[in-house]
C-alpha cells in the first residue's frame, strides 16, 4: 500500500482519550483492556473499512449547515461519546440523532431480521437422483430477530449525553451503507440497496446507566490492578468468531489462542483423514 494509506490505517487505531469511551465499554472488557495495555498488530487490508467509515463521516461533516451538529464529543461521570449527526438530518424535525455505519451485507441481513425459508413449489423432480421428490424454492422473510443491540446501546447513550446537555432528542436513526452492495453475495442475503435508514427504539435510561457503570467499573479495576479481565461474553465474542478472526488483540488473549490451537488441531486431523 502507499505510505499515506498505511499512516492513515495506523492513525485510525490511535485513541488519545483518557476516559473509556462508549464504544470501548460496549466491547468486551478483556478486549478493551488488551488494546489499552498491550502492543498488537493489525493486517492493514483488514481494517480498510475503518478508513471508509472515516471518509463517510468527513463528507457528512463538511456538508452540515447551521441547524446540524456534527462530530461533537460529550462526556459524563461514566464515559464519553462522539455522536455523528444531530438536528434536521432527515426532515423538518430538529431533534433527530443520527449515526453513520459502513457495514457488510451479512451484518445488515442480521440487523434487518432477514432470513430464508424453503417453500414447496407443488412440483416434483421428473428425473435424476431426486425423481419423485418435491421441489422447493427459497424465499426471503423480513420478520426475524433484529440483531442490533450494540448499535441501539451506543446511539441511546449518545441520546442520554445530548439530553443531559439540554438537547431534546425526538428520534434516533442509523444510516447504514453496505460496503459489498451490488455483489451477488449481498443479493443472496436479501440486501438489494446500497444504503438503509434504520430506526432505533429508546432503551431505558436506568438500564443504560447501570450497564455502563458496571462495564466502566470492570475496566477501571482491571487497569488499576493490572489483572486480565474475565473472558468476554458469548455475545461480545460473536460466538467465538471475533476471537478467531476479528479481534485486533487476539494474539495477546489466552482464550483466543486456545481457540486457534484447537482450530489448527481439527484442521490437521481433517487433512490426515483426507
| Domains observed in the chain | 3-230 (3.90.320), 233-274 (no CATH)
Q: What is the mean pLDDT of residues 102-125?
A: 94
The pLDDT score that the predictor gives to residue 271 is 67
Q: Which triple of cell numbers denotes residue 218?
A: 470492570
Look up cell 493486517; give the residue: 43
The reply to whether the predicted model has a pTM over 0.85 is: yes
Q: Is the pLDDT of residue 18 over 80?
A: no
The model's confidence at residue 104, banded by pLDDT at 50, 70 and 90, is very high
Q: Report the 10 Å Cβ neighbour count for 86.
A: 22
Look up cell 460529550; give the residue: 74
User: What angle in degrees, to the nearest 10, is found between the helix axes of 149-164 and 205-225?
Assistant: 100
Q: What torsion do the CA atoms of 100, 158, 142, 245 make, to the nearest 10 degrees?
A: 70
The pLDDT score that the predictor gives to residue 10 is 87
Backbone φ and ψ for 43, nearest 5 degrees, come out as: -80, 115
Comparing CA positions, the residue from 68, 79, 70, 69 lying closest to residue 160 is: 79
Amino acid at each position: 500500500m502507499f505510505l499515506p494509506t498505511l499512516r492513515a490505517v495506523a492513525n485510525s487505531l490511535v485513541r488519545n482519550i483518557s476516559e473509556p469511551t462508549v464504544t470501548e465499554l460496549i466491547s468486551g472488557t478483556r478486549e478493551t483492556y488488551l488494546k489499552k495495555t498491550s502492543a498488537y498488530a493489525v493486517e492493514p487490508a483488514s481494517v480498510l473499512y475503518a478508513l471508509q467509515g472515516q471518509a463517510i463521516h468527513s463528507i457528512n461533516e463538511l456538508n452540515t449547515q447551521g441547524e446540524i451538529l456534527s462530530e461533537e464529543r460529550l462526556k459524563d461521570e461514566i464515559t464519553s461519546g462522539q455522536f455523528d449527526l444531530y438536528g434536521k438530518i432527515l426532515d423538518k424535525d430538529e431533534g433527530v440523532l443520527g449515526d453513520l455505519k459502513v457495514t457488510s451485507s451479512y451484518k445488515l441481513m442480521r440487523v434487518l431480521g432477514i432470513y430464508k425459508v424453503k417453500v414447496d413449489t407443488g412440483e416434483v423432480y421428473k428425473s435424476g437422483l431426486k425423481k419423485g421428490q418435491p421441489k422447493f424454492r427459497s424465499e426471503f422473510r423480513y420478520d426475524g430477530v433484529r440483531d442490533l443491540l450494540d448499535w441501539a446501546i451506543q446511539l441511546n447513550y449518545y441520546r442520554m449525553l445530548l439530553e443531559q446537555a439540554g438537547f431534546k432528542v425526538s428520534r434516533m436513526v442509523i444510516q447504514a451503507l453496505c460496503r459489498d452492495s451490488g455483489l451477488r453475495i449481498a443479493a443472496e442475503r436479501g440486501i438489494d440497496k446500497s444504503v438503509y435508514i434504520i430506526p432505533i427504539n429508546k432503551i431505558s435510561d436506568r438500564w443504560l446507566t447501570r450497564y455502563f457503570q458496571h462495564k466502566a467499573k470492570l475496566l477501571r479495576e482491571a487497569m488499576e490492578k493490572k489483572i486480565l479481565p474475565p473472558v468476554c461474553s458469548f455475545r461480545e465474542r460473536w460466538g467465538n468468531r471475533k476471537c478467531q478472526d476479528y479481534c485486533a488483540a487476539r494474539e495477546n488473549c489466552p482464550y483466543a489462542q486456545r481457540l486457534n490451537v484447537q482450530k489448527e488441531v481439527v484442521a490437521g486431523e481433517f487433512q490426515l483423514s483426507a
